[in-house]
Structure 1
Amino acid sequence: MSKSVNKSITLKEVAAAAGVSVSTASRALSGKAEAYRISSATEQSVRKAAEKLQFSPSLLARSLRSQQTKLLGVVLPNVANPFFAAIAREITLAAEEEGYLVLLTDSQENSETEARLVDQLQARQIEGLVVCPVGIENRHLKSLAKQKLPLVLVDRGFDDPALVSVTSDHRAGAREGMQQLLEAGHKTIGVLQGLPETLPNRERLAGVQAALEDQGLKYDPGLIAGHNFDEASGYAAAKTLLTERPEITALFAFSNQNALGALRAASERGRTIPGDLSLIAFDDHPFAAYLAAPLSSVSQDVNQLGRVAARLLLEQIRTGKPPEQKHYQIPVQLIQRASIQPPA
């Protein structure tokens, strides 16, 4: 009678098939043959027996012995957003190269949900954590740092020396984006901001203000609207500004999702882009170059954000200590397309 494929093969059976002791089989399969002076022939014999029997060592048993689960956690505010999805992909690829499995979660732009997910990931014995935080509350993240769990924040970091973070140069990018609109001749420019309390939003507003000061223009809070980085906020903010301030000739959207909302609001009001309304977005997107009026943008190096975050996390796991440099800033790039023209 043939052996059932569902039978759970044990290490003892592998050892018997290879004609060695259980301890020798265990050492050969765990990569410790040389350390225990197990011959190459014996090691190969054990591995062939394990392969033939389709033996898979218990991950749980292995983790209990080694105190390693090979699990990493990633918390994103919105998995569906291409910006965060690209960051997660880079982290996942880097983790897999080192033999780690990534547990991906979505906080739905909610700080309480984010804190709960962090607790749940810790309960699964993760060895390290990458968080793209909502950006408002950081007590649960500071608690992780005190517990010495390897942790890296990406994008919406905090002004906290205890937390390792990787962000884009938001201020310089917003300043350059605003300069493009000003140099095209625009004087009344509406700003569609994201989540007001977050570091990226504050830095981008500072960049806008710096660009205005460079041109000797006043910073007008009445030209700022919005409450989140999503499409709905961009739509509502653009609709409000274009209604209350019809003299506006250009919009600066603080995310590609905000820009999508702006496009819809402008279309509803019969404002063509760039015919009588110029538009630039902070964040590029695959769709940007293929719009009827290709969208100018301040492009973040999303792949680099993910790679640097993964490197910092894996280094912490290997060394057991945080990096000397806590804050990393990735340069951005201005991409000029047809959505910016001089005022009509």
Structure 2
Amino acid sequence: MKQVAEKAGVSTSTVSHVINNTRVVSDDVRERVLAVIAEMRYIPSAVARSLKNDKTHTIGMMIPNNSNPYFAELIQGIEDAAFKLGYNIILCNAYDDAKKQAAYLRVLMEKRIDGLILVASGDDEELSGILRDMPMPKVVVDREVKGVDADFIEADHETGGYLATKYLIGLGHRSIACVSGPMHLPPSRDRVVGYRRALQEAGIGFNSHFLVHSDFTSEGGFSAFKHLLSLSDRPSAIFAGNDLMAFGGMCAANEAGVRVPDQLSVVGYDDIALASFSTPRLTTLAQPKYDMGQAIAKTLVERINGGHQPPRRKMFRPELVERQSSMPLR
């Protein structure tokens, strides 16, 4: 700033006023200062400005795994809303590693973020302690963290599991398996609760052999479907905990010579963009990812700008999208 001031023949305070629009500066002085800034490729220090203004206009976001397109589509809604509101996003990916998650949260504190969006990789005492020590506003998404006061936004996963299973029952299926995500994650547990509720409501007994836990990846779905299709009394339909698992599962079915949907109906969860382009196209439960992302960003910015109401909870309802991977039982 000193160098810009010297070259433009003005004081450093004048350069500061031009950059921050904090005082009226004559047009010719402003143009001269901006020309020197452009010539020198000077970029004002966001850190220095934050020390003065106590705001960086930066939001930190922690997600479990960016290889899952669900998070990419959720982030799009968050970024679009945050950008319109004048905020930038710093994205950290924990790769489902609690230690990496804790390390990144400390880094975000060092970056002086104004607020945090968290999709947690599990829940433990260390995470709770770190979040309690983070003074900035927070929005927790999908996976609540015990002992942390924050706004909480989620999808209704129990209803999603219920709707998926009820749909398959409506197609005449009675042997319905569920490939769930890790049981320590609330969305996985809730989807299983919905699955079992639909079975009970239809008078179908729960078969423990038809419930398989895996991780939320195509590889996890592949191995889980492979196991289910090797059973002597194999299911006629499978509800997969997310679309990636369903894709891996349909690959396993193809390798086993089981035709989808003629011999096996498959329903996924999330409705990521790829679900419309798989073979066959995937029937799935659509989460309103973009709308959720918009709500998450707007809720956090309201908090940053002085919202003092008690922590709020908002739940979004998923909807069934019927495509070609499911059909009535023959």
Establish whether TM, by shorter chain, passes 0.5: yes
**Count of residue pairs the alignment pairs up:** 330
Taking a change above 3 Å as real, the CA distance of residues 50 and 206 of structure 1, as seen in their structure-2 partners, is: same
Return the alpha-carbon distance in structure 2 between the equivalents of residues 64 and 50 of structure 1.
Answer: 22
Let me know the Cα RMSD of the aligned residues: 2.4
- 320, 323, 328: which is aligned to 2:314? 328
| Other structure's SS at 2:116 match | strand
Q: 1:272 Cα deviation (Å)?
A: 0.5
> Given the alignment of the two structures, is residue 242 of structure 1 paired with residue 217 of structure 2, yes or no?
no
**Does structure 1 retain, via aligned residues, the 8 Å contact 2:271–2:286?**
yes
Q: 1:142 Cα deviation (Å)?
A: 5.2
Return the alpha-carbon distance in structure 1 between the equivalents of residues 325 and 43 of structure 2.
Answer: 57
> Given the alignment of the two structures, is residue 152 of structure 1 paired with residue 139 of structure 2, yes or no?
yes
1:138-168: CA deviations, max 9, x gaps?
6424542454322222233346672322111
Question: Who is 2:181 aligned against?
Answer: 194
Taking a change above 3 Å as real, the CA distance of residues 299 and 41 of structure 1, as seen in their structure-2 partners, is: same
> Given the alignment of the two structures, is residue 111 of structure 1 paired with residue 98 of structure 2, yes or no?
yes
Question: What amino acid does structure 2 have at the position aligned with 1:243?
Answer: S
Question: Who is 1:8 aligned against?
Answer: none
Return the alpha-carbon distance in structure 2 between the equivalents of residues 118 and 112 of structure 1.
Answer: 10
The within-5 A match list for 1:201-280 is 201-280=188-267
Q: 1:245 Cα deviation (Å)?
A: 4.8
Question: What amino acid does structure 2 have at the position aligned with 1:324?
Answer: P
The more displaced of 273-282 and 110-119 is: 110-119
- 324, 327, 330: which is aligned to 1:341? 327
Q: 1:237 Cα deviation (Å)?
A: 1.4
Taking a change above 3 Å as real, the CA distance of residues 26 and 286 of structure 1, as seen in their structure-2 partners, is: closer
Question: What amino acid does structure 1 have at the position aligned with 2:223?
Answer: A
> Given the alignment of the two structures, is residue 91 of structure 1 paired with residue 78 of structure 2, yes or no?
yes
Taking a change above 3 Å as real, the CA distance of residues 116 and 54 of structure 1, as seen in their structure-2 partners, is: closer
Select the structure of larger CA radius of gyration.
1
The more displaced of 202-211 and 68-77 is: 68-77
Q: 1:18 Cα deviation (Å)?
A: 5.2
Q: 1:295 Cα deviation (Å)?
A: 1.3
Q: 1:342 Cα deviation (Å)?
A: 2.0
Q: 1:325 Cα deviation (Å)?
A: 4.2
Return the alpha-carbon distance in structure 1 between the equivalents of residues 99 and 7 of structure 2.
Answer: 53
Taking a change above 3 Å as real, the CA distance of residues 263 and 146 of structure 1, as seen in their structure-2 partners, is: same
The more displaced of 174-183 and 130-139 is: 130-139
- 54, 62, 75: which is aligned to 1:67? 54
**Does structure 2 retain, via aligned residues, the 8 Å contact 1:175–1:204?**
yes
**Does structure 1 retain, via aligned residues, the 8 Å contact 2:128–2:148?**
no
Q: 1:274 Cα deviation (Å)?
A: 0.8
The within-5 A match list for 1:117-196 is 117-137=104-124, 139-141=126-128, 143-158=130-145, 162-196=149-183
Q: 1:201 Cα deviation (Å)?
A: 0.8
Taking a change above 3 Å as real, the CA distance of residues 257 and 47 of structure 1, as seen in their structure-2 partners, is: same
Return the alpha-carbon distance in structure 1 between the equivalents of residues 33 and 144 of structure 2.
Answer: 49
> Given the alignment of the two structures, is residue 24 of structure 1 paired with residue 14 of structure 2, yes or no?
yes
**Does structure 2 retain, via aligned residues, the 8 Å contact 1:191–1:252?**
yes
Return the alpha-carbon distance in structure 2 between the equivalents of residues 212 and 266 of structure 1.
Answer: 24
- 285, 291, 294: which is aligned to 1:307? 294
> Given the alignment of the two structures, is residue 292 of structure 1 paired with residue 282 of structure 2, yes or no?
no
Question: Who is 1:5 aligned against?
Answer: none
**Does structure 1 retain, via aligned residues, the 8 Å contact 2:128–2:145?**
no
Q: 1:28 Cα deviation (Å)?
A: 3.1
Taking a change above 3 Å as real, the CA distance of residues 176 and 30 of structure 1, as seen in their structure-2 partners, is: same
The more displaced of 15-24 and 255-264 is: 15-24
Question: What amino acid does structure 1 have at the position aligned with 2:322?
Answer: Q
Ranges in structure 2 where 5+ consecutive residues have no aligned partner: none
Return the alpha-carbon distance in structure 2 between the equivalents of residues 116 and 53 of structure 1.
Answer: 36
**Does structure 2 retain, via aligned residues, the 8 Å contact 1:135–1:157?**
no
Q: 1:318 Cα deviation (Å)?
A: 1.6
Question: What amino acid does structure 1 have at the position aligned with 2:112?
Answer: Q
Return the alpha-carbon distance in structure 1 between the equivalents of residues 119 and 105 of structure 2.
Answer: 12
| Other structure's SS at 2:95 match | coil
Q: 1:103 Cα deviation (Å)?
A: 2.0
Return the alpha-carbon distance in structure 2 between the equivalents of residues 258 and 335 of structure 1.
Answer: 17
TM-score (norm 2): 0.90
Return the alpha-carbon distance in structure 2 between the equivalents of residues 158 and 13 of structure 1.
Answer: 49
| Other structure's SS at 2:47 match | helix
TM-score (norm 1): 0.86
**Does structure 2 retain, via aligned residues, the 8 Å contact 1:168–1:331?**
yes
Return the alpha-carbon distance in structure 2 between the equivalents of residues 121 and 142 of structure 1.
Answer: 15
Question: What amino acid does structure 1 have at the position aligned with 2:329?
Answer: P
| Other structure's SS at 1:68 match | coil
Taking a change above 3 Å as real, the CA distance of residues 21 and 117 of structure 1, as seen in their structure-2 partners, is: closer
Ranges in structure 1 where 5+ consecutive residues have no aligned partner: 1-10
Question: What amino acid does structure 2 have at the position aligned with 1:341?
Answer: M
